[in-house]
Structure formats: structure tokens, C-alpha cells
Structure 1
């Protein structure tokens, strides 16, 4: 087993036993990730291991893996065991984690990856935890060469890579970037996993105990580096009771509960890449209904329901009832039929300084919360492993667009059922 030297320097990457370790392989998302990674690793010749805290559950997952996946190694340990995390991360080049809530179970793993120079990706949508990890370990990751990439699932790869692609099109066709991009979720069919529910429940608990929670939640530039937290965008509010008219798509918009998270990631990408979109770049993300009174009323109903649900989640008594009787439990996820038949569509609209409008359609195959997100996550892990020498950045905390960009976009298009299509270029 590769060891850390007395000085704290990690062993060289080429001396490690594994290329990728999937941590958390027994949950709803982890099981799907294990299947995709086993198949893709066999195609690519990647040395894979799966890990978690329950030996028997891991063996059950391994027994169901395709091809030679039934022979891959198993690593058993606890997410809160710092010594185990140090040992595990010293054995592999990349760790991909599905163990949430990450604020509860992810911190020791990120710390160990940063210390050992081990690349890391996850599917967190917890900006407060991301901010804490960046503040605690950014310098160490830079020193060791560890590339740490949060938000590599449905949140926030489509939004982040989509904006980057749209800006590349704007620059190539018009010589300048869009001053404004809006993302509208136009269709989403899928389920809800227990891990996502647990993360949301934990966020509601943190809101009661952390005085900084609300401030970070509404700060649109909360994930940007210090000194780069200013810009033209207003507060990020999760479920405001408001609807707006989208003149570009001719329909009413409604709140999208993951919009604030994705928006923070897109703005961080712009900042850490050196403001390629401009310092006055504006970004907004919501969902779309349709035109007319019916569209307005549908959007308003959704906004009112969303706010009511948020209030219910914030009250301990009603939160407990929702947890016991409504929300999926840890390890649970949508049925196979829902996973396979789910889909989604996202429209991104960019406006250039001269008023020219660009439109990009992003479509995804499979349930967005489990199937699509695991395909994107595992392709991000393989990108960190296989394309290491091609990545444009060194060690540190990065976003999907900043760390992997076009390399990852090509991978998710080829292997994760995600497609990017420019559908319009002209004036409003």
C-alpha cells in the first residue's frame, strides 16, 4: 500500500494501486454509479475499487456488477475515520464520492484527498459545505496537486458546461461573450432519492444552528474567491413567491429549487477562470411553464406550493412528519422504470452586448436525480483519471467547467446521454 512520507508529501500517482475508488457504492446513487463505472472501467482499462462502511452490502453490489466487475476490490471503512480516509486516498489517483449529506460525511475524505494529492469529485449541492472545504483546504490542494471538483452531477454540470459552451459559441461567431445568460428548465421527468432528501433535511437543520447559513444561501457570489465576491446579480432566493415573463422564450417562469446552487457554481467558474464572461456577467436560473394566463397561474401555484413546502421543512414538527411519511429514506431511489424513462430539457439564452440572442438546448436522458446524475459523475471521475495530463488546471478547488471543460463535455455527450445543441442565433 502506498504510504504518506513523514514530511506529509503524497506518494507519486503512478505508484498507487487504484485509478478510481468509488466511495459510497451501496446507496441508490452509488449502486448506479458502480454499474456505470464497472462497465466503463473495463472499456478503458481503469483499475477500480468500491468502498463504504458495510461489507455485506458492498459484496451484494459487487456481485451484481457487469463483466469483470464482480472481481473488483472492496474497501471497508467509516467516513468519519480520518486514519482510514488517509490510507484509502493514498492508494488511489481519484476518489468519486456519493456519500451525503456531505456536510455530515464528506469532510474527512476531502481533507485526506487534499493532503495526499488525490483528485476528487462528488455530486454535492451543499454550497455552505463547499465554502467550508474551499476555505479549509484550498492551499493544501494547490500544494499537493489535488484537483477537487464539487457539483459533478445534475447539479451543476448541465448549467456550468452549458454556459461555457454557449460563451464559446458567442466568442467564435461574434467575437465577444454574452453579457447575460438565463437558464430555464423546460422539462423534467424523474424521481427523488433518499440521499437528496437527507441533504435537504440536513440543510434545514443547519439553518437553525449556523448563523451564517442564511447569509451564504442568498449571497450570489458565496462560492467565489475572497476579493471576487462582487457583481451585478442580486440575492439567490430558493423559492420566492414570484413569477416573471421570459421575453426570449415567450413563457412564464417559476422558481427552480436548485437554481441558486447552480448559479453560484456558474459564477464561481467565471471568477476562477479569470472572468472570461466579463466582470459584469449576469446569470439567472429558473423553470419555465408556458404563455398566457394558464402559464402564469401554473407558475404562481408552483411558487406558492414551493414556499409552503420550504416553510414546512423549516419547522421541526412538520419536517419530522415529512421525513417519516413523505420523503424517501436513505438508500431509496426511484424505480428502474422511472430511472430509465426519465428525461429533461434545459434552454439557455445568452444576450450579447449588441442585443444578439443565442439559444442553446441541453437535453438529458434518464431520471435526472439518479441515472443521469450518476452517468455525469462517473464520467467526471474518469476524466480526472484518464485525462489528467490534458486538464488545464493544477491542484486546487475547481468547478466542472474550470477543471475539465470541453474534455468533460465530450465525455458526457458520448457516454452520459447529455446533448448540447445551438438552436437559434439572431436578434430578439
Structure 2
């Protein structure tokens, strides 16, 4: 049974030290805490998350009726003036009063301010930074002992992959062996915000460190599958009618979930590959060259410094500090098509081996608005609201978890579909 101390949960990356986790838990019994707190609310993505929390709070109040207590939430960040500006923008965009929304001053360089913010939070939505494996290695034990959940990758990276696989496994009439995901973008959007670029640049620059952390996290790799799916480069997939460019951004998160399924749940791990889908070979080849150029810029410290200083120039306007305009984002969307292969009959044990190749298939589509900001805000807030309302359905009593392991038994997919996303089973043979 999860005690009331486990109400304190976290989303995404955190710089709060391990001892703070214990302080968060010890102070959870006091009153006056907010249900949801958006940390990093003044950032580009944070603004969209703030507006999504306001929408969900209004929907929650309408669903529960006028007599029910409203969702209590707050914005957190370094500057009070910028927090007020973020709230004013939300009021303008949504036409809501938002008079009862709180403001909390918190700075990642000030541990005491982080402690105070954590003590006021039931669920903290963190819009500040990457490196999920480092969180698991460093804080998993402390989070478990404190009864605190830390769930990362709750935005476009990696909800379509994680919850798409959860949806596929639940609907597959048999036992799944592998899945390939092809992501296709819709509409012509504007520039990508440089915050996204900086996260990608740091991930590439710290690739060796992350690889070391992964080896330390998982000294025993997953068993080699008997029917292994070969890794693919640029290729055409006739089922989706697209050329696939390898884009393994979600694969490490999915691997962590499959490791959990294998070691804890004793279920068969699913092989997973991820691709960006484009219409022609030449478009794919051009994007591969662009990706190689970006990786090269990020690899060396001096070129990385230039990239961070002059992003508009060195990326030919693909990344801009101003990001895309709202009207441009409204015209964008994505569809992630997951192609699953497996067996029509499941074995008794997840560790048993099939003697025949996979003989069944399933296709799942996950669709939503612009992936970087509109869909990400929907996904993050849906995950936060799920933790708030369905903590008893999350396994264990705390720890650092992936979305696939944390939310497999919850209704988080329903919460996202209520906000305009779709999870559909298109075909099963």
C-alpha cells in the first residue's frame, strides 16, 4: 500500500539532491500544498504546459461539479515578473481568470528554494532538462526509500513510443516480438526553439558518459532473442509507404521499460526500432546529411560553443531563439505508426522460446498536434494528472521510472485522447 507520503511525485529531469527527496516526503503530511506545480513555467515549452494545466483544471472542475474543490496549481521559476507574464499570456490565450494560480520562486542554483518548492508540491511537472539514465542511477534508491515517484520522458520523447507499445501489447492477441515505429510529420511549421536544440546538443556531447551510465545501470543486458530483427538504415517500408531514417531518440527509454518488463514482470521484452518517415529517398538522404552535420557541430566543444552562440546562422534558421509562431504550430501534427510482429499464441512463461518465426502482426497509430510543444504539453499534463489521481495503480512505492513501466495500468491514454490525441489499432492479422 502506498502511503500519503508518496503523493509527492516528479516528472522529468531534476537537480534536487537525494536528501531533498527525504525532506519532500517528511513534509508531505503538512497541508497547503498544490496539486500540480509547473517548474520552468517561463520557458518556451513551459508556457504551453501552463496553458494545458489551466485547460485540464477547468475540465476537471466541470466534470466534478461546482461544489467540488478545484485543482490547486502553481507556476514556479526564478523571476516573479516572468511568472506573472506567463500567467498573463495564459489568461489572454485561454480567456480564463486564473486568479487562484500560485507563484513560487525557485532556482536550480539555490537548493533551499528547490526544497521549499518541493515541499509545496504534490506533483511537480519539471520543464528543465534531460539525462534520464543519470537520474535513475543516482536517485532511484533514495526515491524508493522516500516514497517518491520520478517519471521522465513524459513528452513527445517518449510517450508515443512508450504508450503506443503499451497499447499494442494490450491489444495484441498473442505475444509480441518486435515493433518498428515510423513517425510522419504533418503540415509546415516554423523554426524549432533553441531550447530543444540545446538539449539535443548536450545529449550528443555527453553520449560517452550516458553510455557508461547505461552499462552501470544494466550490467546484465537483455537476453538475445531467438528471432532477432536486424537493425536497418535508410530504407523503404512498403507497409507505411515511407522511407525510414533511423532516429533512435526513444530507444533508450523503451529499452529501460523492456528491461523492467523482463526482470520484474518476467514478461518477454519487445525489440524496438524507431524511424522518421519521409516520402522519397532524396529527402531521406538530405535529412541524413543534415543530421550528420548537426552531430558534427555538437561533437567538438569549440563547434558546439559556436552552435549555441549562433544557432540561427549555423542551422540556416532551422533553430531560432524565438521558436515557431503559435499560428504556425497550429498547422502541424504528427502520426507515429507502430508495426508489431509476434506470435498468435503466447507461451506460458515470458522466458520460454518460440520454435517458429512470428506469424502475426498488428498496426497501431498514435496521432497528435505539433509534437514539440502542443502534443508535449498534453502528454506531460496527462501524466501528471494520472499520478495525482491514480497513484495506487503505479507499481512499487516510489523510484525512477519510465512512462511504460509507470503508466501501463492507468488511464493515461484516455486522458490524452480527451485532449485530442488518438491511439488506434488499425490492423491485426
Please give the range of the TM-score, normalised by the shorter of the 2 chains. Answer: 0.7 to 0.9
Q: CA deviation at 1:29?
A: 0.7
Structure 1 stretches of 4+ with a deviation exceeding 6 A read 233-237
RMSD: 3.0
Structure 1: any 5+ residue segments left out of the alignment?
Answer: 103-125, 217-221
Find the partner of 2:168 among 166, 169, 173.
166
* Correspondence for 1:33: 49
Q: CA deviation at 1:288?
A: 2.1
* Correspondence for 2:86: 61
* Correspondence for 1:382: 385
Task: Provide closer, same or farther for how the CA distance between residues 194 and 312 of structure 1 changes in structure 2, counting only shifts above 3 A.
Answer: closer
| Local SS of the residue matching 1:361 | strand
Does structure 1 retain, via aligned residues, the 8 Å contact 2:365–2:424? yes
* Correspondence for 2:65: none
Q: CA deviation at 1:225?
A: 4.8
| Local SS of the residue matching 1:179 | strand
* Correspondence for 1:109: none
Does structure 1 retain, via aligned residues, the 8 Å contact 2:194–2:311? no
Find the partner of 2:367 among 346, 358, 363.
363
Find the partner of 1:246 among 230, 237, 251.
237
* Correspondence for 2:77: 52
The within-5 A match list for 1:141-156 is: 141-156=143-158
Q: CA deviation at 1:157?
A: 0.4
Does structure 2 retain, via aligned residues, the 8 Å contact 1:232–1:281? no
Q: CA deviation at 1:30?
A: 0.7
Matched, 1:273 2:261: yes
Does structure 2 retain, via aligned residues, the 8 Å contact 1:16–1:93? no
Q: CA deviation at 1:215?
A: 5.3
Quick one: distance in 1 between partners of 2:175 and 2:149?
27
Quick one: distance in 1 between partners of 2:399 and 2:290?
40
Find the partner of 1:400 among 397, 400, 403.
403
Quick one: distance in 1 between partners of 2:287 and 2:281?
10
1:16-64 superposed Cα distances (whole Å, 9 cap, x missing partner)? 4211111011111111111111232243321101110011111111223
Does structure 2 retain, via aligned residues, the 8 Å contact 1:142–1:396? yes
Task: Provide closer, same or farther for how the CA distance between residues 43 and 251 of structure 1 changes in structure 2, counting only shifts above 3 A.
Answer: closer
Structure 2: any 5+ residue segments left out of the alignment?
Answer: 6-18, 61-69, 344-357
Matched, 1:306 2:291: yes
| Local SS of the residue matching 2:327 | helix
Find the partner of 1:289 among 278, 287, 294.
278
Quick one: distance in 2 between partners of 1:306 and 1:329?
17
1:301-355 superposed Cα distances (whole Å, 9 cap, x missing partner)? 322232122213324454444431426465x321011221110111100001342
Structure-2-length-normalised TM-score: 0.78
* Correspondence for 1:19: 35
